[in-house]
Structures are given as structure tokens and as C-alpha cells.
Amino acid sequence: MAKDSTSIYYTEGLPVPETPAAGKAPKPWEQTDVIGKPWPRVDAYERVSGTAVYPSDILLPGMLYGAILTCPHPHARVRRVDTATAETMPGVRAVVGPETREADLPWSYRNVKSKIFPPVCRFEGEPVAAVAAETPFQAWDAARAIQVEYEILPHVSDERRALDANAPKIHDGGNKVKTETYSRGDVSKGFADADVVLEQHYRTEAELHTPLELHGCVANWDGDELTLWESTQGVYAVQSRVAETLGLPLAKVRVVGHYVGGGFGSKLRTSRYSIIAAVLARRSARPVKLFLPREETYLSMGNRPPSNMTLKAGVKKDGTLTALAFTCLGTGGAFPAGGTSLVDWQIRDLYRCPNISTECTDVYINAGPARPFRAPGHPQGSWALEQMMDALAEAIGMDPVALRLKNIPTVSQGRQGSPPYTTTGLEPCLTEGARQFGWAEARRSLGAAQHKGPIRRGVGMAASVWIVGGGGPPSTVIVKLFADGSANLNMGASDIGTGTKTIMAMVVAEELGLKPEMIRIEHADTGTTQYATPSGGSKTVPTEAPAVRDAAVQVKRQVLEMAADEMGLPVDDLAYEGAAVASRSRPDRRVPITGIEGLRKRGVVVGVGHRDPNPEGKSINPFCVQFCEVEVNTQTGEMRILRFLSANESGRVMNRMSFDSQVIGGITMGIGLAATEMRILDTEQTGKLVNRNWHDYKLPTALDVPADITSAPVEMPDAEANTTGAKGLGEPVTIPTAAAVANAVYHATGIRVTESPIHPLRLCSLLEQQTKEG
Ligand code: MOS
């Protein structure tokens, strides 16, 4: 190979994928040099050294600090807000509230006032007024000095009482948001055909997202142009909401979010603090930093809503499911926010079953609105369905894995027209997972029947499907190849901590033969990067990676065309090799990338990549099956999770290292639902949130999560899904975790814990009940 000074950018001798002809999609990768390998993050150093600048790290010259005074009551009318004292406090530069005089206000304020400071507060934590001051302490002191006269209204904060006749009405139309139903087949006939019918009530508690980086932004005006540095999963989504609310053209609102310290869905929505920060910055003519304290994020930045579910299921002796009837009561809080959204999806779609009915009722309560929370609705439905499958298996004397294998679907029955899946990983995840976990042996040797002492061990498993995960358009990405052979990748998507940037760099690296560390990434900035939908739904990789691949292919094609001209050879005869372009027919004819005159003259070759639509009439879904082993101390009610295995079919594994990290993270979060996490509202008296800090809201810690977590990817080549073959992973890996734990607890103790979380007090009382019933 022709040596030149830039060969360090390339891994010598590695073939790069063929360049498809114009208008043709690239073939699936067969052999890969970078994709699928365990690749450390391109921003690992920045993240661990503290040099990564998160939005909450931003400091601007002259910057003020904002604070929001929020309503301390779950339901109250704001009678009067007196900001006079606050305005005279030291360091205070701006105070805004519902009674601030219109004449003094920035032009945008009139329209937004009622949106940020509502006359009636329907949950604890609704904004009432806000302050900007020279220091955070001055801002908080001033916020506390604002005097508010509330008319306290009666509240209801337990969704199970929201529809009671005497429950206080949260909105004029009453407390019912909606009831949604779904059905197929004939459920009564299905139950009549069954040999065994079981019915059980289940409940999951609300969880709070708790990202490490708080919710907030820094707002700065430059004339009539607004810039927000915001901790968000989607800069373009924030741009459009902020522009709409403030009445600004999109082009005048720039949103930047280069790092995100966690979101898990809570940073998919645009929040009032962004608008409040913009208003405070406008009024004070200074940049304003406004990040919520942890307590406020717990009150107002979303939750995984609670669910109250009843599932009735019918099965034949041979394991054939005949009918499922499901009802759910849930709440998204004080506003329509998807309280029961997707809770029934596992029931509708995971197993082959001809007769299904579901009914989900969503009600209002006086609590903060729900937000999407890692696989919205799915872990709740899984908690019910997968515990029911466990009970059905026992009732017909069948192994839980065998029962599931008996009911494998090949089409998405829950969707209109029952489209076939591009790949159905459920079966291999069940068999491969069971094999690697040692399921059959553990099932025999452990379990309640095998132990006489107080320490019991058991194993459990659960399966799942994720409703999306195939991604899709729109996505536009730009790859620039510089004259020295290094490259720049420009995309709008956020890396929400999942390793998106690294995977996209790997795609460019694979296609261009470059080393991933030679690629500079520009992302998540509406001012400088391409449009992208928010990073969520486990769709970021399958949405963006094909566009990245396309952009790299566009670069290669242009380089080949330039080289063909200069070498006097037909373009079809040339192959892109990364460091060089070579003739296929005459191996002696090759030119290093830096030797291509056209590239040197132009300076940069730009490839614009797009995401093609998904195949029509197909459903693209990831599958996940998890197995775990637990130990229960029947004297203290303590439960320890000893090991976990996750078998995932998410299409192609793009980066084995971040893939495994996602598995560990998803299981950790699922253990929170299973064992430690619950939002506690004082429903009887004040309606206030009781556990609003990291001491009282119990996240799983290193002591709750086993060191022994195995990631067992099941790769099925998926040539249809998209040009990279990747499907989503981040959400699938948290869906079945809690149900698998509950099933393992049942195996260990004979106790079915139908209400989350499985904490020692709950287990103790169930154990006591078990002893009494003898
Ligand atoms: Mo996710 S709940 O789509 O960030």
C-alpha cells in the first residue's frame, strides 16, 4: 500500500465494505472489523475525567441563577402572589409571577404567563413564580420571600379512589381521562376451551426516573435570538416547543445538549423551566441558569405511573393459550400523560393467543404528570403476564420455558393486519438463555421443595417483546472527509448515555476503514447539526446508524469518482480501501486518499445520508428473555438477587461493550421496580410526596444488584430491518426483569408477590400469612 503521512488514521490492510452503485442500498455487512467488537466509548475520557461539559456545567459570563417557587399543596387555587419583598432582596435581578405588570414584561411573556404559572395548581410542584439572582442562594432566598395566598382545595392522590362519587374533581369534566379497549377473537369461547383458567390481581408502584443530572437549562438571549443549553434527549423537540410557546421562528431558537446525565424518558418532554429560564433571561438581560433541585424533579419531572391490573388466563393441558382478559386502572397524574399507555402490549403481542380482550382506564389524580419511563407500560404489563404464565405452567405441570415455547408467534398479532416480524427472536432467546443459565438443572435442584432451613433459593424467568425498536425515518446525517483523510460526523441525535456517538463513529470507521478515534463527532445542536428525532424508544441506533452508513457510502462514491477521473480508469474498476483507492484489474494502480487531487483541491468531500423507510407490511421488534436466581431469608423477609442472565435478540450487535452495558443497566433498573423503588404519596392526609430524596427514595445500589450478570446476545441476521440490521436494546432489557425476580421468589418460597416492590416488610407479612395458612 502506498504509504503516506495519514496512514495512522487507517488500520492498514483491512478491507472496507464494497461501495454500492448510485441509488443502490449497501448490502448487509458480512465480515466486520469494527462493528460488533467491544469498543470503548469515543468520549470515555471526557466522561470519566470530568472534562465533558454537561448542560449543568455551563457557566457564562454575567450568568444569573434561577429558582422557581412551586406550590406546596397537591391542589390549590393561587389567590395572590406578592413579589414586592423578593424584588428588593440582595442580588435579585428579575422576579416573574402571575401578577407581574404586563407593561414591564418582555414581549413574549403575555402569551406564556398562564402556561407557566397556572391559576389553579393541580399537583405539588406546579410553578407559581420565579426569580433570577446573582447567586443560587440569593435566588432561593428571594423565592422563599415571595408571599402566596392559596385557597387549598380538596385532593385525591390515590388513583383507586379517583372515580369515587365523593372524590374531588381535578378537572371540570371529572377525573376520568379515558378508557381504551382492544379485543380479538372470542374471549368467552377461549375460556370455555381452556382446561385451566386462572385470575389474579396485580399492582406495580409508581417509580421516579432519577437521572443523575438534574433537569434544567441555561438560557441566553442575543438580541431576539435565544440559545438554550439543555439536558435533553432531543434538542429539536425542545427547539420546536420553546419556539411555539414563545412565538419565535424555529431559526431563532438554538438548543444545545452535548451531554445528558441520564433521562430514561423524563427528558423527552419539554418543561416549563425552559420557558421560565428564557423569560427570566429576557427580563434581566443576562444569561440564566435554571436547574431544578432533586426534590422538584421528583415532584414534577415525571414518573413510571402505578398500575392496578387484573389478568384472567386460560390454557389447555398441552400448554396452548386459549384466552387472556386484562383490565388496568392507572393514572398519569393531574394531566393526560399516558397513565395506562402500552400497559397491555405484552398481553396483546408476546404470545400466540387467538382470544384477547384488554381494557385500560386512565384517571386523574393530584400528582405530577407521568412521563415516558424506559419501556413505558411494558414492565407493568410484564409483571402481570409473566407471573401469570408462571402460575399457568405450574397449574398444568409444565416447565415455564416449555410453556412459552409452546406459544411462539411469528406475526405481530396486536397490530392491524398481523404483520410478520422481520425476525422473531423469542424462541432462540428462550432456548439459548435457558441453556446458558443452566435453567433445567437449577429448576430441579433449587426451589421451595428442596430446602428446609430459613434460607431458600429459587430461579425464575420472564420473556418480553418491545413495541418499537425498529426506528425509521426521518434521519439526515452528514459525513465529511477532509483532505488528510480524517472525517467528521454530523448528526442531531443525542447520546443519552447509551453510547450512540461511539456506535455511529464505528459505522463511519467500518465503511471508510478509518480508526474510530480519527472521527470527530458533532451532535445534538439545532444550530449546527442535522435534524433528528429525540433519542428514545430504543430507536436511536436503528434510526441513525443507517443514515450514517448512507452518508459514508456517499463519501466513498465521490472519492471513487474523483479517483477514476484522475487515474483514467472506469469507476467500476476501483475499490475504496480507506487509506487508498485501488484498481481491481490492475493492482499496481492505486492512489492514496491524500494523493487524490480533487480531494486536495476541494478540501472536503461531503456525504449526505438519509434513512430509508422500513419494509412495508413487516413489524420490527426486539425480544428479550431473562433468567435469575434469588435467595430469600424467610425469617427476615430479605431477598437477594444472586445472578441474572439476559438473552437479547436486538438484531445485529453494533458494539459488544455498550450492548453489555445496556443489559446491566436495564436489569439494574428492573431490580428497582422489583425490589426497592416506590413513590410514596401521603394519600390519607396531605397528598404530598413523602420520599423526595435519595435517602428515602430507594434506588437499587451496588448491594442490590448482582455482580453476576450475563449478557447473552442472540444474533439473527435481519436483512430487512435496515441497512445495519440493528434493532433497539435499551428498553427491552428492562421489561421482564421484575417479573423474573417475582417468579424466582415464588420458586424459592411458594409465595407469589403480586404487588411491587418485593421489600422485606411485604415479604415478612406474606411469609407470616403463609405460615398461618400452613
Ligand atoms: Mo425512552 S422512555 O423512549 O427514553
**Whether the CB of 669 sits within 6 Å of ligand 1:** no
* Residue 430 and residue 349 share a domain: yes
**Which whole-number Å values give the CA distances from 162 to 97, 140, 308, 380, in the listed order?**
31, 35, 13, 20
Query: What's the rounded mean pLDDT across residues 272-282?
Result: 96
pTM for the model: 0.97
Cβ count near 657 (within 10 Å):
16
Q: Which of 283, 300, 317 is a domain's end point?
A: 300
Question: pLDDT over 90 for what percent of the chain?
Answer: 92
Q: Which atom of ligand 1 is nearest to the CA of 375?
A: 2
Q: Are 225 and 287 in contact (CB under 8 A)?
A: no
* Residue 518 and residue 460 share a domain: no
* Residue 630 and residue 577 share a domain: no
Residues 6+ apart with CB under 8 A from 591: 2, 563, 566, 567, 580, 581
Q: Let me know if residue 132 belongs to a domain.
A: yes
Confidence class for position 28, pLDDT limits 50, 70, 90: very high
* Residue 134 and residue 60 share a domain: yes
**Phi-psi region at 626: left, alpha or beta (left = phi > 0; alpha = psi -120 to 50):** beta
Query: What's the rounded mean pLDDT across residues 380-403?
Result: 98
- Split into its structural domains, the chain has a count of 3
For 159-201, the pLDDT digits (tens) are: 999 999 999 999 999 999 999 999 999 999 999 999 999 999 9
The residue assigned the cell 369534566 is 173
**Whether the CB of 376 sits within 6 Å of ligand 1:** yes
Confidence class for position 5, pLDDT limits 50, 70, 90: low
Helix (H) or strand (E) holding 670: helix 656-671
Phi, psi of 356 (to 5 degrees): -140, 140
Q: Which atom of ligand 1 is nearest to the CA of 267?
A: 4
**Whether the CB of 97 sits within 6 Å of ligand 1:** no
State the average pLDDT for the chain.
95
Q: Let me know if residue 635 belongs to a domain.
A: yes
**Whether the CB of 265 sits within 6 Å of ligand 1:** yes
CATH number, residue 109: 3.30.365.10
pLDDT for residue 1: 42
Q: Let me know if residue 263 belongs to a domain.
A: yes
For 306-351, the pLDDT digits (tens) are: 999 999 999 999 999 999 999 999 999 999 999 999 999 999 999 9
pLDDT for 2 beyond 50: no
Q: Which atom of ligand 1 is nearest to the CA of 538?
A: 3
pLDDT for 414 beyond 50: yes
Q: Which of 610, 630, 652 is a domain's end point?
A: 610
pLDDT for 583 beyond 50: yes
Q: Let me know if residue 195 belongs to a domain.
A: no
* Residue 343 and residue 393 share a domain: yes
pLDDT for 3 beyond 80: no
* Residue 144 and residue 255 share a domain: yes
What is the Å distance from ligand 1's center to 141 Cα? 35
* Residue 349 and residue 414 share a domain: yes
Helix (H) or strand (E) holding 476: strand 476-482
pLDDT for residue 372: 98
* Residue 597 and residue 479 share a domain: yes
Cβ count near 601 (within 10 Å):
9
What is the Å distance from ligand 1's center to 146 Cα? 36
pLDDT for residue 450: 82
**Which whole-number Å values give the CA distances from 216 to 137, 162, 219, 240, 269, in the listed order?**
17, 32, 10, 17, 12
* Residue 280 and residue 413 share a domain: no
Q: Let me know if residue 755 belongs to a domain.
A: yes
Cβ count near 201 (within 10 Å):
12
Query: What's the rounded mean pLDDT across residues 590-600?
Result: 94
Query: What's the rounded mean pLDDT across residues 113-132?
Result: 95
Nearest to 612 by CA among 20, 201, 91, 58: 20
Confidence class for position 575, pLDDT limits 50, 70, 90: very high
* Residue 766 and residue 642 share a domain: yes
Residues 6+ apart with CB under 8 A from 385: 311, 324, 346, 347, 350, 739
Q: How far is residue 34's CA from residue 609's CA, in Å, rounded to a whole number?
A: 20
**Whether the CB of 338 sits within 6 Å of ligand 1:** no
* Residue 125 and residue 265 share a domain: yes
The residue assigned the cell 411469609 is 767
* Residue 143 and residue 272 share a domain: yes
Q: How far is residue 147's CA from residue 113's CA, in Å, rounded to a whole number?
A: 18
Domain that holds residue 247: 55-70+76-153+210-300
3-state secondary structure of 704: coil
Burial (CB < 10 A; 0-12, 13-18, 19+), residue 664, is middle
**Whether the CB of 333 sits within 6 Å of ligand 1:** no
Q: Which of 259, 278, 300 is a domain's end point?
A: 300
Q: Let me know if residue 129 belongs to a domain.
A: yes
Q: Let me know if residue 30 belongs to a domain.
A: no
Q: Let me know if residue 704 belongs to a domain.
A: yes
**Whether the CB of 209 sits within 6 Å of ligand 1:** no
**Whether the CB of 373 sits within 6 Å of ligand 1:** yes
